[in-house]
């Protein structure tokens, strides 16, 4: 290995491993470790944050924990998604359910909900109130991150190219 290659590898973020030799992504999704730097467990987020728009708006660092990607984002404490993480999430109904529940929280934050068919979105009665959230540049980055993650874990049914949106 050349010095140049070695230097590049030192610059690139490396997936963090917890003490029981699993990635931070999996440990977080199993509710074994909190997100960083604020320290929220996924079960707390899934249980307490739906409809809590102030909380969702105030703490942005949770996004990269709920929807990890292979490329780093703005939260330097967030782990990177690996191929092994994807395999573990895809093979675990519990972890896939947590990912879908996190997606539902973000849809609610945007004034939408996932219909029972898991292919159709509906606008909620809070859509007009939440519309200002949707039009911010930051939100488009968040939506892109969410869609990348859901595609990685084979949730194409909710990330397909043609969404149907129904009004209530």
Is residue 157 pLDDT above 50, yes or no?
A: yes
Task: Look at residue 123 and tell me if it is in a domain.
Answer: no
Check if the beta carbon of residue 110 is closer than 8 Å to that of residue 101.
Answer: no
Q: What pTM did the predictor assign?
A: 0.79
Task: Look at residue 128 and tell me if it is in a domain.
Answer: no
Cβ within 8 Å of residue 62, ≥6 positions away:
35, 38, 40, 45
Over the stretch 39-63, which tens digit does the pLDDT of each residue have? 899 999 999 999 998 888 877 788 9
Task: Look at residue 118 and tell me if it is in a domain.
Answer: no
Task: Look at residue 149 and tell me if it is in a domain.
Answer: yes
* Residues forming a β-bridge with 113: 122
Task: Look at residue 166 and tell me if it is in a domain.
Answer: no
Report the candidate in 148, 42, 9, 161 with the shortest Cα–Cα distance to residue 86.
148
Number of domains making up the chain: 1
Edge-first strand listing for the sheet containing 112-114? 112-114, 120-123, 164-167
Over the stretch 10-31, which tens digit does the pLDDT of each residue have? 333 444 555 567 899 999 999 9
Task: Look at residue 81 and tell me if it is in a domain.
Answer: yes
Q: Range of 55's domain?
A: 17-110+136-158
Over the stretch 103-136, which tens digit does the pLDDT of each residue have? 999 999 988 888 877 667 888 898 888 877 777 7
């Amino acid at each position: 290995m050349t010095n140049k290659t070695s230097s590049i590898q030192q610059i690139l973020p490396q997936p963090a491993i917890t003490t029981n030799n699993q990635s931070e992504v999996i440990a977080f999704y199993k509710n074994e470790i909190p997100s960083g730097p604020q320290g929220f467990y996924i079960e707390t987020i899934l249980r307490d944050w739906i409809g809590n728009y102030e909380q969702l708006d105030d703490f942005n660092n949770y996004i990269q924990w709920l929807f990890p990607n292979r490329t780093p984002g703005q939260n330097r404490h967030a782990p990177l998604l690996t191929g092994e993480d994807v395999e573990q999430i895809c093979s675990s109904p519990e972890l896939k359910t947590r990912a879908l529940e996190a997606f539902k929280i973000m849809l609610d934050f945007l004034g939408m909900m996932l219909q029972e068919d898991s292919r159709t979105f509906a606008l909620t009665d809070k859509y007009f109130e939440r519309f200002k959230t949707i039009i911010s540049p930051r939100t488009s980055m968040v939506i892109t991150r969410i869609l990348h993650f859901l595609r990685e874990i084979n949730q194409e049914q909710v990330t397909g190219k043609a969404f149907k949106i129904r009004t209530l």
